[in-house]
Structure 1
Amino acid sequence: MRRRWWGVAAGLGSLAVLATLLVPLRTVLAISTDALVLIVPVVFGVAVGGFLAGAVTVVAGFLVYDFFFIPPYGTLQVSSGQDWVALAVYAVVMLLVARIVAALDVTRSEARHGREVVRQMAAVSESLVADEPVEALLRSIVATARAVFGVRGAALLQLRDGHLVVIASSGEPLTTEDLARLDPASGRPVTVGPDVLDHGGLRAVALSSSGRAVAMLALRGEPETPTEREVLTAFANDAAVALERAQLRDEALRTQLLEEADRFRHGLMGAVSHDLRTPLATIKVASSTLLERGASLTAPDAEELHRLIDVEADRLTRMVTNLLDLSRLEAGVLTLHREVTTADGLIDDALAAVRTSFARQRAVVDVGADVPALRVDRGLMTQVLVNLLDNALRHGPPTGTVTVRVARHGSDVVLSVDDEGPGVPEDQREDVFNRFTQFDTGGRSGLGLTIARTFVEAHDERIWCEAVPGGGARFSLTLPTAGTS
């Protein structure tokens, strides 16, 4: 309505200006020339306010043309038949011009709106191939529906527990009465389709895909044209396919997560049983021997059994620590607390933690004189070294040597733990760090090496396995120095 009044004002204003300019020239210019010039206000009024504004300008132009440019001037009297013909032609031509310009304006407006509809529909179609979360897709559907169809509000509803629930909305929200009217549990008949508008101003459109109702789109207000109502059907189909695809993708993701959790649980049980079997068996045998034959055992034999129980209990404690660390990793709450320390300090802490495990085995420590201070999370990096030492003790000979070296290699500081065990085959040197890896040949596996790699990589460093010349395995890792950020 406001646009129409602006068109009337524009047409009458431009008519007044042109009439003022033409009056001094009316004795010079032909009547037909004046009529041609007065076409301009009509076109201007139609362009701004539509056909009705142009029609008002035509009526005003007819009176101005008669009053100012048809003799006798200054009256509405027409003295000759020729002048009547000129006035009639002016009125007919002006109405035709107004109608043509209005039609062109409507066509241009529809084309512009059509381009916007195509753009918005393309955005919905892109969601069919995009990995967009369901929540984001729902917001996109209702916002697009409201923008494309010019309605006051749009809402998506789904049937849950026998009742319709709003899952996304844009613009004017649905009232409690609206929901009650649409809800199938209310017992009221509801016609669903793009061409039906109920007495409450609501239009309900079913979103169906593969013969299954996905959701319901409720629009408050009526699309402006029949073309838009046809587009609404296509929009509903595309939205249904996009929504169904997103829901299926989320269901597949949930299934994948459940399968991963199941695999994790089975792997955890396998790894725990693998790591706990030996220390539990040792503790059981030693404690049973002490209970059943304690009186007949010599003092050295009893002391050895007590030492075995102590060593294996410490090993079990470290395994429980590893399990707790693993749960922290899975929960995403692993946080580094870096501090400046020395390589000797880390090694001393780790050796103290596995002290009881060194029975007849020997530890050799070699720290280069040029090794700088380190900046690490001391607790986590000590746990890494404890796991590597425990791995070396378990796989080395009973009277072997475990060697810990720290040296500079170019710009890196490398810590390595060597054992004299059977080594790790080249094709398994990466897999030993993978969580819950089990080898048919009974090779190294379990949680310790997985925890070690995770903690090292949390420091943005690397860890690897290689062979030791002469036999055995070497596990090496780089350490961040105090001079690095």
Structure 2
Amino acid sequence: MADKPHRLGYFWGVAAPLVCTLIDWPLRHWLGPASILMTYLLGVFWVASRYGRGASIVASLLSAPLFAFYFARPIFSVAIQDLENIIGLAVMIVVANVTGSLLEKSKLQTELARQREIHANALYRLSRDLSAAPDHDAVARIAVEHIHAEFGVASVLLNAGTEDRLQPPPGLPLPVSLKDIDFAEAQRAFATRKITQENHITYYPLKNSRAWQGLLIIEATKQLSWQASERAAFLDTFCHLIAQTLERLQLAAQARDAKLQAETEALRNALLTSISHDLRTPLTRIIGAANALIENDAEFSVAERQECNHIVLDEAQRMSELTGKLLDMARLNSGEITLHRDWNAIEEIVGSALNRLDKHLKDRPVRTLLPNSLPLLWIDAVLIEQVLVNLIENAVKYSPEGSPIDICGQAQDGYCLLTVADYGPGIAKGQETKIFDKFYRGVAESDQSGAGLGLALCKAIIEAHGGLIHASNRAGKGAEFAISLPLREPPLIAEPEIAGSL
């Protein structure tokens, strides 16, 4: 099949001068020798443009005797008496050869450009798909698909695991033609870091700038032997892109591990700092009160003794609350807490939270605006009460004594919106979301006790209910915390039957 175009070219190399002769013969009385030579030159040029230099040479060599025999004086003789016709023939032959050579080079350059465009498009498609690969399995699948599409051969990608042990990607079956892969030979090829071929299988170790990433096993067929050097370079580029992607995934995994380790270390340091600071103060006061009771018990009055007992009790409660918040946060993060949902009225939960904080509120006014039309909520009452307690405590801590606290509620767009607002200095700019991070304590909180867990715990509880919580500043007032809890259709309450009714 490969010789058919060549045979067709030589056929037209013979046929074109004959066709030119048939066209020029009836017109010989009106066309001069120069015009007839141009006709033959046009035929040679057409053959060169379509079939290359060899066919054009045949056409030019055949055009010369045909012109001499039929059109150069004396006609019907290959002898040429006119020097002009001899020069014209020589020029035609030279021009035909030069033109054929130039056209052949142009066609070759065009074909090379076309092949390079095809390769560039293939590399672009491979690079595009590999850039979106999320893991090694996706890289293996993409590599196999693109190698089969571009080279028509089966392949499989083995990733380098620990201690340079090759690991076939799970869930990627081997092609039938690669069933007889010798994995021991593959491991040896990867260990030697050299491209090797065993029977009909070729092993390509993959390396990028940092390390060896794996091994590409390719079925070696005759298709890979065509244009060996160019296709080998093309395949090397394929392998380089695959290795580059594997390295990118490896570096991304290392970056994630390093980030996680840094975050864990930062969290551990924050925990130790917060716990040591917030436990030291109550422990110091407890120890001081206990020592005073032991050393001066006989000298203390009843009121002084009662004051020391209250100090011990209050500081012990602070430690208990801190420990409880830590445990609750740990359980929420691990998913161990189960929400005990039930239908509850939010005004009852608000009232219970205020009762718990009666001692902390003292004479501070709390203004509640909770319409009677608020629907029942499908929530864990204990946890939502804890959220409100934390928010109210936060408002008490960061607002002037005697300033009011506003608690409002309304149903809006399928959610119950609760807000707890104070009249303090508000939240520093840029800290509206950071204050919900675990152990985060703003600049304004440096002189306040607390581990920075209260708001983080509120966020975890609200999100466990499918809701949202965010903080903002009210113009000319203080901070406002807004909670959105999803509404559900409340259950129907059966009306009791009236005695004696029909």
For the criterion TM > 0.5, the same-fold answer is: yes
Q: Tell me by how many angstroms 1:179 deviates.
A: 2.0
The CA RMSD over aligned residues, in Å, is 4.3
Distance in 2 (CA, whole Å) between partners of 1:477 and 1:263 is 29
Distance in 2 (CA, whole Å) between partners of 1:234 and 1:429 is 49
- The structure-2 alpha-carbon separation of the partners of 1:215 and 1:461, relative to structure 1 and needing over 3 Å to count, comes to closer
| Local SS of the residue matching 2:270 | helix
- The structure-2 alpha-carbon separation of the partners of 1:336 and 1:264, relative to structure 1 and needing over 3 Å to count, comes to same
**Correspondence list, 1:214-363, <5 A:** 214-222=213-221, 224-227=223-226, 230=232, 231-331=234-334, 338-351=341-354, 353-354=356-357, 357-358=359-360
Q: Does 1:460 align with 2:464?
A: no
What residue in structure 1 maps to residue 188 of structure 2? 184
TM-score by structure 1 length?
0.61
Q: Which runs of 5+ in 1 are unaligned?
A: 1-112
| Local SS of the residue matching 2:304 | helix
CA contact (8 A) 1:142 1:156 kept: no
Amino acid in structure 2 at the alignment position of 1:305: C
| Local SS of the residue matching 1:219 | strand
CA contact (8 A) 1:462 1:477 kept: yes
Identify which of 369, 372, 375 aligns with 1:370.
Answer: 372
Q: Tell me by how many angstroms 1:437 deviates.
A: 2.9
Q: Tell me by how many angstroms 1:448 deviates.
A: 0.7
**Correspondence list, 1:45-84, <5 A:** none
Distance in 2 (CA, whole Å) between partners of 1:291 and 1:329 is 42
What residue in structure 1 maps to residue 98 of structure 2? none
What residue in structure 2 maps to residue 203 of structure 1? 202
Greater mean alpha carbon deviation, residues 241-250 or residues 333-342: 333-342
CA contact (8 A) 2:409 2:417 kept: yes
Distance in 1 (CA, whole Å) between partners of 2:475 and 2:297 is 43
Q: Tell me by how many angstroms 1:296 deviates.
A: 2.8
Identify which of 140, 143, 160 aligns with 1:141.
Answer: 143
| Local SS of the residue matching 1:203 | strand
Deviation string 1:350-398 (CA, Å, 9 cap, x unpaired) is 345556x54955674645453523413323211111212333454567x
CA contact (8 A) 2:435 2:442 kept: no
- The structure-2 alpha-carbon separation of the partners of 1:158 and 1:476, relative to structure 1 and needing over 3 Å to count, comes to closer
- Count of paired positions: 365
CA contact (8 A) 2:371 2:410 kept: no
Q: Tell me by how many angstroms 1:343 deviates.
A: 2.5
**Correspondence list, 1:16-55, <5 A:** none
Q: Percent identity?
A: 26
Q: Which runs of 5+ in 2 are unaligned?
A: 1-114, 492-502
Q: Tell me by how many angstroms 1:205 deviates.
A: 0.8
CA contact (8 A) 1:146 1:153 kept: yes
CA contact (8 A) 1:401 1:419 kept: yes
CA contact (8 A) 1:134 1:247 kept: no
CA contact (8 A) 1:146 1:171 kept: no
- The structure-2 alpha-carbon separation of the partners of 1:191 and 1:128, relative to structure 1 and needing over 3 Å to count, comes to closer
**Correspondence list, 1:435-474, <5 A:** 435-441=438-444, 442=446, 446-458=452-464, 459-466=466-473
CA contact (8 A) 1:207 1:237 kept: yes
CA contact (8 A) 1:464 1:477 kept: no
Q: Tell me by how many angstroms 1:143 deviates.
A: 4.2
CA contact (8 A) 2:427 2:472 kept: no
| Local SS of the residue matching 2:131 | coil
Distance in 1 (CA, whole Å) between partners of 2:471 and 2:157 is 56
| Local SS of the residue matching 1:296 | coil
Amino acid in structure 1 at the alignment position of 2:142: S
| Local SS of the residue matching 2:324 | helix
What residue in structure 2 maps to residue 405 of structure 1? 407
| Local SS of the residue matching 1:224 | helix
